[in-house]
Amino acid sequence: MTTSLAKTPLDAWHRQAGAKMVPFAGYEMPIQYSSIVDEHNACRTSAGLFDVSHMGRLRFDGDGSEHLLDHLLTRRISDLGVGKVRYGLICNADGGVLDDVLVSHLKTPSERYYHLMVVNASNREKIYKWIEPHLADFPTVTMTDRTDVTAMIAVQGPKAIEICNRLFNVDISKLKYYTARVTEQMGKPVIVSRTGYTGEDGFELIVRAEEANRVWENIMMAGRDVGFKAVGLGARDTLRMEAAMPLYGHELDEQSDPISAGLKFACNFKDRSFIGDEALRQIVATGPKRIRIGLVPDGKRPAREGCEVLSSDGVKIGVITSGGPSPTLGHPIAMAYVDAQHAADQSFQIDIRGKTASAKQVKLPFYKRPQT
Amino acid sequence: MSRDQTKLLYAETHEWVDVAEEGGDKIATIGISAFAIEQLNDLVYMDLPEIGKELAVGDEFGEVESVKAVSPLYSPVSGEVVEVHSELPDDLEKINADPYDFGWIMKVKLNDGESLDRLMDHAVYEKQCAEAG
C-alpha cells in the first residue's frame, strides 16, 4: 500500500539545501541537512531553525472554548490569561495519554479572542476526532484545523531572541517565557510564542503557508553571521532528549499516564474535573507503578529505545523509551520507565542487544541551559 | 604506507577488503568505505568482533552506530578473525578523514580456497554507490 505523504510549505527549500528527507507522521520531513551533531551544536551555541509545520494546529473560537479545553486537558485553561501559553495533556478516562499539547490564549488585531492548541503531528487526526463529539456540549464553540493553511517555524538557541527581534517592529524580546501574541512581520500576521522543544530559549512562529519561505529566509539571513543553521528532525530529537522533554510514542502513549511520566506539574486537580481525572487522582493516591528516570550508560555505546533495563542484580525492571548519544555532553544518555520500587536505585544494567552495560541514574534533565 | 582505495575489493554492504600474503596465509584487512561512512554520518560507536571468531560470508561481525541508528557490519569474507583495531572505537571520528588506513576494523585469516570473485572492484563499486545516490 502506498500512501502519499504531505509536504510542508518549506519542502522545496529543504531539498534545495540538500536535506535528507524521511517520512514522519504522514509528512516528508528533513531529518538532517549535513550533520546531526553540527546542527545540534548550532542550536546550543547560536540558533537553529526548525520547520515544524507538521505539528497540528487546532483553533477554538467562540464563547466557552476555555470550558471545552478545561474539560479535555489535565491543566486548567479557563484561567489562562490572554497572551499566555500552557502545557497540558489530553487523557482518556483511564488516565492514558492521548497527546501532550500547548494551548495559547490569543487576541487578533481586530480584538477577537481564541485558543490555539498545538498537537503532535502523529496525533492530529486522533485528537481532532476525540474533540469533535465534545463540541455538541459547547454549541458556541467551533474547532478549525489550521495546520494546512499555516506553517510553523521554531527558532531556538542563545542567539534566537536577539536576532529574531530585528525582524519585527514590536520588541518581541519582551515576550516572557510561555507567552505568545499575534503580531505582524513585514505587514503579514504571525503568531510569536516564546516556547520550544530544545531546552534553549527561543520562539515558535506560526505564519500563513504562503509566507513561510519568506519568513524562513529572513531569519536565516538575519542569523547568518552568528551561525544560524537549519536543523532537521534528527537533531531535534537529540536536543529534546538532552532537555528530557517527553516525545509522544516514546515516553508517552495511551498505556502511560502523566504521573508516571513525571508530568504531575501539568495536572491540576484542585476544584475541577476533566476527562481522566479520577483515574489520575487514584494514581497520585497509590503512587505510580513505574516512573520515568534518566540513565547514563557507562562507556560510549548508546542504549536505545526498547533496550531492557535490569536492576543491579540482573532482574528486568524496565525499558528504555529514548536513548542515544548526547552531542552536548559527549556520552550516551537514555530515558527509561522503571518499576517504582527501583526508581531511587542509583545503579542499573542495560541489555543492549545481548550485551550488558552498567548505567547510573542521573537527575533529569540531562542538560539545562546556562542561566543568563 | 597508505592504502590505495582503487586497488581494494568491495562488498555490496560497503565493506572494503585488502588481501595480502602473510607467512603463507592470506590475510584480509577489512574496513568500511568512505561512501558508507558519509551515508551513516556522525559515527559515535563501533562494536568490534572477538579475536578467534570464525566468520562466514555475510555474518554479522560488529556494529557501527551513528547518532540516529545502529548498522550491522557484515563479513565480506570467510575465515578467522586474527586481529582487531582496538583503538578505533575510541577514536572513531578519525575514520571520516582516513577510512582506508586508520579506519581498518579487523584482519581475517581467509579459509583455504576462499574465492573473492563475488567482491567488486573499485570501478564497479563506485557505480553501485552512484546509483544509490
Cβ within 8 Å, pair B90-A300:
yes
Integer Cα distance of A104 and A154 in angstroms: 16
Cβ within 8 Å, pair A35-B70:
no
Q: How many CA atoms lie within 13 A of A10 on its CB side?
A: 32
> In the CATH scheme, what is the code of domain A289-372?
2.40.30.110
Cell of residue A364, nine digits: 533529569
How far is residue B64 from each of residues A39, B45, B103, measured CA to CA in Å? 21, 6, 12
Residue of chain B nearest A233, judged by CA positions:
B68
Q: How many pairs of residues across A and B have Cβ atoms under 8 Å apart?
A: 37
pLDDT of residue B23: 86
Q: How far is B133 from chain A (nearest CA, A)?
A: 11
**Contact assessment for residue B36 and residue B42, using Cβ atoms and an 8 Å cutoff:** no
Burial class of B38 by CB neighbour count within 10 A (0 to 12, 13 to 18, 19+): exposed
Q: Does residue B67 belong to the interface with chain A, where contact is any CB pair within 8 Å?
A: yes
**Contact assessment for residue A296 and residue A94, using Cβ atoms and an 8 Å cutoff:** no
- Site from B41, B91, B93 to mutate, A interface, most A CB atoms within 10 angstroms: B41
Ramachandran region, residue A83 (left: φ > 0; alpha: ψ -120 to 50; beta: rest): left
Amino acid in the structure at residue A364: L
A chain contacts of residue B43, beta-carbon cutoff 8 Å: none
Cell of residue A153, nine digits: 517555524
Task: Please give the residue range of the domain that contains residue B65.
Answer: 5-126
- List of E strands, chain B: 9-10, 15-22, 25-32, 43-47, 54-55, 60-66, 70-74, 79-84, 106-110
The CATH T-level fold of domain A6-55+148-242 is Gyrase A; domain 2 (3.30.1360)
Q: Does residue A35 belong to the interface with chain B, where contact is any CB pair within 8 Å?
A: yes
Integer Cα distance of A131 and B115 in angstroms: 65
A chain contacts of residue B68, beta-carbon cutoff 8 Å: 31, 36, 234, 237, 324
A32, A237, A304 ranked by CB distance to B41: nearest = A32
Q: How many domains does chain B have?
A: 1
Which CATH number belongs to the domain containing residue B54 in this structure?
Answer: 2.40.50.100
Ramachandran region, residue A366 (left: φ > 0; alpha: ψ -120 to 50; beta: rest): alpha
pLDDT of residue A66: 97
Ramachandran region, residue A203 (left: φ > 0; alpha: ψ -120 to 50; beta: rest): beta
CA angle A221, A226, A231 (to 5 degrees): 70
Integer Cα distance of B73 and B77 in angstroms: 12
Q: Does residue B90 belong to the interface with chain A, where contact is any CB pair within 8 Å?
A: yes
Whether residue B133 is contained in a domain is answered as no
- Site from A22, A38, A41, A301 to mutate, B interface, most B CB atoms within 10 angstroms: A301
Whether residue B131 is contained in a domain is answered as no
B chain contacts of residue A355, beta-carbon cutoff 8 Å: 47
- The per-residue pLDDT string of chain A (372 residues; one tens digit each, 9 = 90 and over) reads 456 899 999 999 999 999 999 999 999 999 999 999 999 999 999 999 999 999 999 999 999 999 999 999 999 999 999 999 999 999 999 999 999 999 999 999 999 999 999 999 999 999 999 999 999 999 999 999 999 999 999 999 999 999 999 999 889 999 999 999 999 999 999 999 999 999 999 999 999 999 999 999 999 999 999 999 999 999 999 999 999 999 999 999 999 999 999 999 999 999 999 999 999 999 999 999 999 999 999 999 999 999 999 999 999 999 999 999 999 999 999 999 999 999 999 999 999 989 999 999 999 999 999 986
Integer Cα distance of B100 and B18 in angstroms: 10
Cell of residue B64, nine digits: 557501527
Query: How many other C-beta atoms lie within 10 A of the C-beta of residue A53?
Result: 25
Query: Is the full-model pTM beyond 0.90?
Result: yes
Q: Among 3.40.50.300, 3.40.640.10, 3.30.70.1400, 3.40.1350.10, name the CATH number for the domain at A57-145.
A: 3.30.70.1400
Cell of residue A291, nine digits: 516512573
